[in-house]
Each structure stands twice: as structure tokens, then as C-alpha cells.
A and B are shown apart, each in its own frame.
Chain A
Amino acid sequence: MIVAEQKPLDEIRDLIADAGKVLVVGCGTCVTVCFAGGEKEAGILATSLRMASKLNGNAQDVTHLTVQRQCEWEYLDPIEEQIRQAEVVVSLGCGVGVQALAEHFPQAWVVPGLNTSFMGLPTEQGVWEERCAACGSCILGLTGGICPIARCAKQLLNGPCGGSQDGVCEVNAETPCAWQLIYDRLKAHDRLDLLMEIQPPKDWSTSRDGGPRRITREDLRLVAEQVE
């Protein structure tokens, strides 16, 4: 899932400073699961912003609502009226959600309430870790299901650097060395032969380096046209 965390309140207050009427829009999917931008967080943020503006002597009208998924048009259509009434919309969706709102409601001024952090999972209650960097060309089949692009600080493809010590990364003692994990797993599966092969320079064109990405599925498009 996409993992995010809320921006500092002061930063959000700066983003809405000139508005009298503010709408906070939560999202019921990834950011709900990571406790950053769901119904509960949207409610708390709206209350905090209201209180802060009152204390500041410049009371703002801050309301909130939550949609099931900010990143799909069909979930946004029903909130068109509330969006229209707001001078500023604070999206508590991920970066996709913010942009979906801005794209779907060109007249609205949409600002982010979250910093979108990474694609990952909760490894224990209250802890999330990155797992995928969306490089567009998955190599997990060569690395025992552990991604060195997302989990090695240097995105190495041919084994651990000299800074791997006692299983942790030299960059951060709380980060396991991805290549130690890969090594252990390949060894356990008797597949260390995979590590002996030199992995050639990666084709980064499928990653962000190739420019913004787009997937077109002609099979699905044709179906859509027939439905129309």
C-alpha cells in the first residue's frame, strides 16, 4: 500500500492561510490503513485547524468528509458540491489523491495535507517500511523476493557494499542490509548461484528516469468502447 504521514500543522495552516472556507477530504483506502488520512484523521485535522484559526483571531470555517478512494473519478463525482463551496481543499489522500482532486475539479484550489512517503507495509503495529520503488522492471525473481532497488540505500544489484555490518546498513542502524537479507534467503534456498551472476546495468527507462509513465491496455479500451 501507499504509506504517508501528515504534514506539520503549521505547514498546513500556511497553505490555507487566506481561505475563509476550507474542506478537508480524507481517503478511505491506503492512507486510512496507515492512520494518516482516513475519516478519523480528517476529522481531527479539521477540528485542529478550526481551533487554531479561532485562537489566532481569524476563525476559518473548516469542514471535512471522506471518500472511499480519491484516485478514481467515480468516487469524486458525489462531492462536487462541497468542493465548489470551499475556497481551499486540503486533500488527505496520497499525492495521487491530491492530483486527482485538482484534475477532476479544475476550479478548486487543492493543497496536500500529507507527505506521501513510500510503497510499503506495516512490519509491526506503528511501524511501516518501504518495499517497492516501482522501477517498472521487477527483479525480485533474482533476489529471493527482497528488493535491492527499494531497500538498499545505493540500489546495488551485485551484492552488498563494504558498509554492511552485523546485518544492518551503514546509513541507518535501524535499516537491515537488503543484501544481507537477500544473501540469507538465497542461501536458505540453496540459490546462491543467482548471486554469482553479474547483473548488467539496469534499464532505468521503465523507472521515473524514462519520464512520466503510462500504461495503455488496448484490450480494456476496446471493451470500454463497446459498453458505450
Chain B
Amino acid sequence: MSDTSTNGYKSGSRLEQVLRAGHFAVTAELGPPQGADGEIIRKKARLLKGLCEAVNITDNQTAIVRMSSIGAGAIVLQEGLEPVIQMTCRDRNRLAIQSDLLGAYALGARNVLCLTGDHQSFGNHPTAKNVHDLDSVQLIQMVVEMRDQGRFQCGDEIKGVAPRFFVGGAANPFGDPFEWRPYRLGKKAKAGVDFIQTQLIYNVERFSKYMEKVRELGLHEQVYILAGIGPLKSPGMARYMRDQVPGLDVPDHLVDRMTAAASGISKEDKAARREAWRKEGIQIAIELVQQLKGIEGVAGVHIMAIEWEEAVRPIVEGAGLFPRPEPEPLPTADDPAD
């Protein structure tokens, strides 16, 4: 066997190994810069190393041009951290996606998250042409078939090494139609997805209802579901997410808690108010992790601390998820694997 042997694992990624071993997994998010400074990636990677199994590297998130997910992912790998390459259908057709994934695999990436992508009208190039040659379900199916059948989407055989990714997808339990959402997850499971990262969850009660249906369909036994966690930075952010962001459900009591956090502090003391809000935001995130951990079928959390990577450590530690489990090293090619 070559060095691509995965010894019974689909990809052999750390994320896959930790999930397969039955540990409660943690992934985080690393947003690349709007520039070409690799040092920014290294600094963020150092903040996150040891706190999670892998970090998602966003792909032109919210349709704003940033350093590529694969380029930034290669730097993250150099820092000894495992990337989850995000791949959207907005900017690339099936040719570009497949060729980029071959390159990502050759660079050492082993996880990929398959997304539709935010519409370009939200970003900084609203006059751009979008692609959407595939949708996220078809993308999942394509990457799974590249791995399991060694074939490109057209059916041609992949020459030599086929990319063996641990394949992820996204789910928004709060999108409409609400009752359809578990079935959409089922479609991704049918397409062969290995893990799911959900939209940010603040409304645990509503998410529990979603998970009830997910369990009824048996989907929690087919895919690893990582619940999305996002620490709130301020009451303003909480209100914005509650009122302005489609597909997010932030209950009023969390907005009130964020507001109350700085209630005794003078409005003049901006630094102290900011500090108090952030402390409360992290505390809420810790409580959410603990509540979500108790829901059957939740296999881990995905912590999205956008431009606030420092928040990941206190959340992981506060929720009792530190230190992270160390998977057994994969046997080398020469070892008798079985």
C-alpha cells in the first residue's frame, strides 16, 4: 500500500478517528484574511491547536474574497493542525471543484465540507456571475464517489491515487420549511455524507425537536452531527442575529442576558462593558455546549468564533472538553494492519 492507506478508515483524518472512537468531537473555524499574509493563518492556527480535532477554513465566506481555503489549509497543516476544506458550489463548476480537491488532497487535506455557498449579492462582488453547476447534495455525492469508486463525476477513472476525504455537509435546523429539514439531512446522508456541521444553535428547545425527528429517521446513526456554537460578542450582535440573519433563531432570553451583562457598568467604560459582554457570551456558549452534549445523536460541536479565535479555549475548557483525545497513530504502510 502507498502512503494513502487509511487502514479501514474512510480518510484516516483525526476528525474521523476521534468520531469513530466515540469521543465527543470539537471542530472550530478559521477565517482566512482578505489579503495574502500567511502569518495571520499561522497565528490563528496556534490559537486553535490542541483545542479541536480540525478547523474549518472558510471558502470566500459571505461571498467576500479571502485567501483560498486550500491555500490557507496547507499553512494550517504546516502548523500541525488539521483543516476542513470548505468547498462551495458558488464559485466553481464540477471541473474546478474536482481539480482543486485533487490538489487539496495532495497537500495533505483529509476533510472537506461541501456547501452551496452564500449568494454573491451578500458579498463584495455583487455583480459577479455565480456558478451553481452542482448543488451541495450533488457535491457530496461527487466527492464520495471520487473516494469510494475512484471515479470522476463524468465516470472516468481517477488515475493512480484517488482523494479519500472525510466528507462533511451543513444543515440548518431552523431554515424553512422546518418539517422538511430532517429530510434534507436524510438526503445528504443518502448522498454519503460522513459528518454534518449545523448552523449556529441558540434555540436548544427547537433544535431538540429537530433532533427528535432526526433520530426517528435513524439519521444520527448514519452521520456524525456536530452542533454549531457561536459565542455572542455583544447585545448588538445578538439582536442583529435575531432580527436580521435569515435562518438564525436567537431566543429573547439570550439577548436579555447579554444586555444585562453590562448593566452595572458605566456607559463611558467601553472596555469594561466589552469585557463583560464577552465573558457572558463565552458563558452562554459553554452552557449551550453542555445542553447540546446531552442531546442523543449530537456527536460533537463546531465552534464558530468568527474573528474571535481566542474564545475557543475558554469554551472548550469551560465545557470540560479539554484536553482533546489523542487518536492512536495509524499503522504505517509496513505494519501488518490487521
Contact = CB atoms under 8 A, between A and B. Distances in A.
**Interface magnitude class on chain B:** 35 or more
A204 B135 CA distance: 13
Given A162-B247, A163-B246, A170-B246, A201 B134 contact: yes
Contacts of B184: 158-160
A154 B191 contact: no
B183 interface: yes
B137 A158 contact: yes
Contacts of A155: 132, 135
Contacts, number: 96
B138 A157 contact: yes
Contacts of B130: 154
Interface of A is mostly: loop
Interface residues of A, number: 30
Interface stretch (B99-107, B171-179, B252-260, B296-304): B171-179
B175 A163 contact: yes
B132 A154 contact: yes
A110 B209 CA distance: 62
Nearest to A204: B133
Contacts of A165: 175-176, 246-247
A210 interface: no
Nearest to A155: B132
A223 interface: no
A164 interface: yes
Interface string B183-216: 1101100110000000100000000000000000
Contacts of A166: 176
A156 B132 CA distance: 8
B141 interface: yes
B121 interface: yes
Contacts of A157: 135, 137-138
B135 A154 contact: yes
B170 interface: yes
A198 B246 contact: no
Contacts of B118: 163
B142 interface: yes
A167 B183 CA distance: 18
B153 interface: yes
B176 A167 contact: yes
B175 A161 contact: yes
Interface string A175-204: 001001001100000001001101111101
A185 B257 CA distance: 41
B176 A177 contact: yes
A159 B180 contact: yes
B138 A162 contact: no
A153 to B, nearest CB: 5
A195 B132 CA distance: 19
Interface of A: 153-167, 170-171, 177, 180, 183-184, 192, 195-196, 198-202, 204
- Nearest 5 CB-CB pairings of A with B: A162-B172, A158-B137, A165-B246, A170-B246, A156-B135
